Amino acid sequence: MAGEPQADCLFCKIVTREVPADVVRETETTVAFRDINPQAPIHVLVIPKVHYPHAAALAAAEPQLAADVLREAGEVAAEEKMESYRMVFNTGSGAGQTVFHAHAHVLGGRGMQWPPG
């Protein structure tokens, strides 16, 4: 069920520390950690501590928590000294989502081209 930890979710396991991660920031509601398969010199994921399958579900159910994720993405960019960065939310496997727990990708450290792909 949305909002509750999922036993088979990698990111839920990172929240509970069952799976290690290189955590760069943590708040009461979010965890930010380095992506294990970075697509840019700086690639950090920001996740809510509660489980929602994607960003739209998170925003619909808990808009304040969605705002927390966005705010933390900005804090990550500031701490990583990125003046320019890209924030990405993939929704669904066709868009490249591989872990079905809402998360923001914060990417930077190089020029970003448009369109992205």
Q: Which residues are catalytic?
A: 103
Cα torsion 19, 20, 25, 27: sign: positive
The full DSSP string for the chain is -TTS--TT-HHHHHHTTSS---EEEE-SSEEEEE-SS-SSSEEEEEEESS--SSHHHHHHH-HHHHHHHHHHHHHHHHHTT-SSEEEE---SGGGT--S-S--EEEEESS---SS--
